[in-house]
Amino acid sequence: MIRAVLLDMDGVLVDSEPFILKAAMMMFEELGFTVHPADFAPFVGSGENRYIGGVAEQHGIKIDIEQVKARTYDIYDEIIVGNLRPLPGVWEFLDRCLDRSLASAVATSADERKLVANLDAIGLSVGRFNTCVNGLEVTHRKPHPEIYVTAAARLGVEPRNCLVVEDAVNGVEAARRAGCKCVALTTSFPADKLARADWVVDNLAMVPDEALDW
């Protein structure tokens, strides 16, 4: 029986990838280095330490990850103001969960600072959810199930009674390994790549009732 919904953030609630990419590129430019959008592609969804650090490694750039990450976030905070929007169906989906008395959690590979900034920018808040788990609170990244097992535990719910909402192949695999059911959104990957999910839809507005009523 479903008791809780665990939501990824990027690609589910918001699409912040273009903005963190721009902020990271601007940060490297301030340091005197030219990097390219394609350099970041292998590290999308792996958390900002790897997202920035992986590109630095590729180019042989010596960095203090905490320092450059903080500067990247400073830039990011500025450029998302008035520009970041919730993805289709976010508010309606959260209301559907509330109507069913389902607990909710955000479980994201992003740092807490980005989590809070993104939710604030789209008119949500951390307090809108029963709990939030960020990438700095877990040891293993998706497709490891740790982040979803952790979120379920904080809610006091067994993973088998949770629905995960994801947009990435690794995220779907993490949900499956955790023992959760999963809705996958085609925000970031085509439907055929997300076939291991229980339901595959284009956005939160299209999640079927059966995904919330089992």
- For 162-208, what is each residue's pLDDT tens digit? 999 999 999 999 999 999 999 999 998 899 999 999 999 999 999 99
Active-site pick, 8, 39, 111, 167: 8
Query: If you average pLDDT over residues 74-89, what whole number do you get?
Result: 96
Q: Tell me if residue 10 is catalytic.
A: yes
- The single-letter DSSP state of residue 87 is P
pLDDT of residue 44: 80
Tell whether the model's pLDDT for residue 32 goes beyond 80. Answer: yes
Within this chain, do residues 38 and 123 fall inside the same structural domain, yes or no? no
Q: Is 192 exposed, middle or buried (0-12, 13-18, 19+ CB in 10 A)?
A: exposed
- Alpha-carbon distance of 152 to 203, in angstroms, equals 23
Within this chain, do residues 66 and 153 fall inside the same structural domain, yes or no? no
Within this chain, do residues 124 and 57 fall inside the same structural domain, yes or no? no
Tell whether the model's pLDDT for residue 46 goes beyond 80. Answer: no
Tell whether the model's pLDDT for residue 43 goes beyond 90. Answer: no
Single-letter residue type at 174: A
- For 8-29, what is each residue's pLDDT tens digit? 999 999 999 899 999 999 999 9
Active-site pick, 10, 39, 111, 167: 10
Within this chain, do residues 114 and 164 fall inside the same structural domain, yes or no? yes
Residue with tokens 């389902």: 102
- Alpha-carbon distance of 190 to 152, in angstroms, equals 27
Within this chain, do residues 72 and 96 fall inside the same structural domain, yes or no? no
Closest CA to 89 of 176, 182, 165: 165
Tell whether the model's pLDDT for residue 47 goes beyond 90. Answer: no
Tell whether the model's pLDDT for residue 141 goes beyond 90. Answer: no
Tell whether the model's pLDDT for residue 157 goes beyond 90. Answer: yes
Which pTM does this prediction carry? 0.90
pLDDT of residue 6: 98
Structural domain count, the chain:
2
Within this chain, do residues 117 and 185 fall inside the same structural domain, yes or no? yes
